[in-house]
Amino acid sequence: MGQAGSSFFWPGRDPEARGAGKTLEKARRHFMRSVDDSGFNWLVLIVAASGFFTDSYNLFASNVILPALSYVYWGEGQHETALYFNLATLVASAFGQLAFGYFADRYGRKSLYGIELIIVITSTIGLLQCSNGISETVNGLTAHTWDIDGWIFFWRIIMGIGIGAEYPLSACIAAEWSSTEARGRMLATVFFMQPLGQLCAYGAGLTTLQAFGDSKIEIDKQWRYVVGIGTLPTLLALGFRIFMPESGRYTYEVLRTTPLQKIEPTGTRHDDSDASTRIQQPENQDEVEDQISWSKMWHFLYVEGHWADLFGTSMCWALLDFAFYGLGFSAPSTLEKLWAYGPITDDATEKSIEVKLRENMRHGIFTFSIAAIAGSIFVIAIIDWVNRKHMLTFTFSLLTIVLALAAATFDKLFQKGELRIVLIMFWNLISFLFSAGPNTLTFIIPAEVFPTKFRCTLYGFAAAFGKLGAVLVQIVILNIPSLRNDPNSSDIQYLLASYAGCMALGALCSHFFVPKVQRRSNAENTRRGCFCGTPSTPFYANIPLQELPPEQTRWRRKPKATDGEELRALPA
């Protein structure tokens, strides 16, 4: 897209236009000042959030379409197939996070804007057209020209790659285009799209269900409409991405090089004095590769000690997702147990598929979605008034207590008439705390703590490590037959106890390894309010991205006398 198009939709926000004719440092300061002066920029929010919303919709649409797929193609009780479906999506998502995180640093953010959405659109169209083809029965055996299971898994894997790719791109778009004061609110609002996307998936399922009957043909239409609806917000998000210029921080800190610039010791901060060299674009991609070389990343992580930042953010995300996806991703089977008034009998399992689907979606809304949305709104409101690191540790600790209580009382509440309401309230509270704490904060903090040249790569690694936790819990569930085959099994209480242990480990990782991204505010640091622009003074001020991550003193490797000069020669 040409310069004119970008300027029309991003007035005054194009780093190329702002840097024309200026020295490197002056152009960088001028552009960064314009970004900081923009406050809470709604255009940035729309661009970042629209993509994340559509991917969240497609990810959590699994909870809507899996019961329909089981009814039409796999047969009742085929929970293994549904779990394999989830596993395929999660593994593909982890791959997308890793690959696109690296590509965004290697080739630039702009070169990837929209590619992940095109992948999602293409896979959505492919998924909703899956078919068995022509069927013919010979000697009692039915043969098909196509294997619909294979095609469903194939297109879901492709979609998973696109869904995963959106994580580092959406988070880094929001972080790098946000003003320093609005960064926390911006990232929290982008993540608000996850529970909103989940709610819309349930809403789409309920709406389409009203238009169809309960025959296999009608249900087969219903799940295809739910999947197809996901292309509409994706197309909208793609339109916004096309007109978005390159990230200013990536432009000035990676793309624009100054070959005559002095090499300074690692960790040295530049002052505001003008550079003597003019802005110069890299002549070829090898120069960009040199900026993000593996040796420099190794130096940043190992020598400077920032492996602890990566370890902390990655482990917190993995421990969170182990519990989160264990409770939420397998929602159809879990919800039936939670809402059961008494033991589930054969008569109860013979409800019409239409009734089952409607109950599942309504229960999902009242058990997970509403509480998650409330938690996200809560964290948006307080994100600037609390220390994010301390809040992450506190909410992990609180979840440890709540999950332990749920595990201890599960047997006394499960299928015990009206007492099941207490169990449902436990799930509501857990869902609220996830969104108000770890689920949102593990999305936000990795986008803040890593330098621009490695931001997407390391963010993608942390996010993929989180998906590893989600994969592990699906494997655990797959290997506990009672959870899959016995609707009256109370073995989920043992999983709840393991989730409580994960939350306790998450609190420890947060306390010891996650770095601070804020500093205490002072009297002069009066800032604008959340959205209305009214003056306010939050307790904590965001540290500018160029000052993050803070220097590691605990984990930094002490250089040997023989290699000290070599280490100092490497640029920050």
pLDDT classification of 279: cutoffs 50, 70, 90: very low
Q: Which residues contact 520 (CB under 8 A, 6 or more apart)?
A: 539, 540, 541
**pLDDT, position 184:** 95
Band of residue 513 on the pLDDT scale cut at 50, 70, 90: very high
Beta bridge partners of 278: 23
Percentage of residues in the chain with pLDDT exceeding 90? 44
Q: What is the average per-residue pLDDT within 308-321? A: 97
Stretch 172-179: mean pLDDT, rounded?
92
Residue 350 has pLDDT above 70, yes or no: no
pLDDT of residue 311: 97
Per-residue pLDDT band for 487 (boundaries 50, 70, 90) equals: low
What letters, b where the CB count within 10 A reaches 16 and e where it falls short, cover 1-29?
A: eeeeebbebbeebbbbebbeebbbbbbbe
Average pLDDT over residues 34-52: 87
pLDDT attached to residue 76: 61
| Structural contact between residues 176 and 453, judged by C-beta atoms closer than 8 angstroms | no
Instruction: Decide if pLDDT at 193 tops 90.
Output: yes
What gap in Å lies between CA 534 and CA 188, rounded to an integer? 20
Closest CA to 230 of 198, 195, 253: 198
Q: Is the pLDDT of residue 563 over 60?
A: no
Average pLDDT over residues 33-53: 87
Query: Average of pLDDT values for 398-424?
Result: 88
* pLDDT per position as a tens digit, 520-537: 876 444 444 444 444 456
Q: Are 164 and 525 in contact (CB under 8 A)?
A: no
Supply the pTM of this predicted model. 0.86
Backbone conformation region of residue 305, classed left if phi is above 0, alpha if psi is from -120 to 50, else beta: left
- Mean pLDDT for 385-411 is 95
Instruction: Give yes or no for a contact between 309 and 450, defined as CB atoms under 8 angstroms apart.
Output: yes
State the sign of the Cα–Cα–Cα–Cα dihedral 103, 108, 111, 115: positive
DSSP-derived 3-state class of residue 152? helix
pLDDT of residue 260: 32
Q: H helices then E strands: how many in the chain?
A: 27, 6
Go through 311-323 and write b for each residue having 16 or more CB atoms within 10 A of its CB, e for each that does not: bbbbbbbbbbbbb
What is the rounded distance in angstroms from the CA atom of residue 70 to the CA atom of residue 68? 5
Give strand pairing partners of 536: 527
User: Which residues, other chains included, contact 93 with Cβ-Cβ below 8 Å and sequence gap of 6+?
Assistant: 59, 160, 161, 163, 164, 467
Tell me the pLDDT band of 270, cut-offs 50, 70 and 90.
Answer: very low
Mean pLDDT of 248-267: 58
Nearest to 247 by CA among 173, 180, 144, 166: 173
How many angstroms separate the CA atoms of 444 and 183, rounded? 9
Burial of 287 (0-12, 13-18, 19+ CB in 10 A): middle
State yes or no: pLDDT of 559 exceeds 70: no
How confident is the model over 6-26, as a mean pLDDT?
56
**Residue 43: alpha-carbon gap to chain centroid:** 20
Q: Which helix (H) or strand (E) holds 151?
A: helix 148-177
Q: How far apart are CA 127 and CA 130, in angstroms?
A: 5
- Averaged pLDDT for residues 241-262: 72
Query: Is it the case that residue 16 has pLDDT exceeding 60?
Result: no
Q: Give the pLDDT confidence score for residue 268 in this predicted structure.
A: 37
Q: What is the spatial distance between Cα 447 and Cα 469, in angstroms, rounded to a whole number?
A: 20
Helical H runs in 254-302? 285-291, 294-298
* pLDDT confidence band for 332 (50 / 70 / 90): low
pLDDT over 90 at 200, yes or no:
yes
In this predicted structure, what is the pLDDT of residue 535?
A: 44
**pLDDT average, residue stretch 510-514:** 96
Q: What is the pLDDT of residue 78?
A: 60
User: Tokens 């793309």 identify what position?
Assistant: 255
Average pLDDT over residues 278-282: 49
Question: Would you state the pLDDT for residue 531?
Answer: 46
Q: Both tokens of residue 335?
A: 């919800």
In this prediction, residue 440 has a pLDDT band, given cuts at 50, 70 and 90, of: very high
pLDDT value of position 527: 47
Residues 6+ apart with CB under 8 A from 349: 76, 487
Mean per-residue pLDDT over the chain, rounded: 82
Q: How confident is the model at residue 92 (pLDDT cuts 50, 70, 90)?
A: very high
The CATH code belonging to domain 39-133+146-257+281-536 is 1.20.1250.20
- Ordered by start, the domain boundaries in the chain are 39-133+146-257+281-536
pLDDT band at 278 (very low <50, low <70, confident <90, very high): very low
Handedness of CA 385, 173, 297, 273 (dihedral sign): negative
201 Cβ contact partners less than 8 Å away, ≥ 6 residues apart: 57, 60, 61, 63, 64, 226, 230
For the chain, give the percent of residues with pLDDT over 70: 78
pLDDT at 331: 58
69, containing H or E segment = helix 62-69
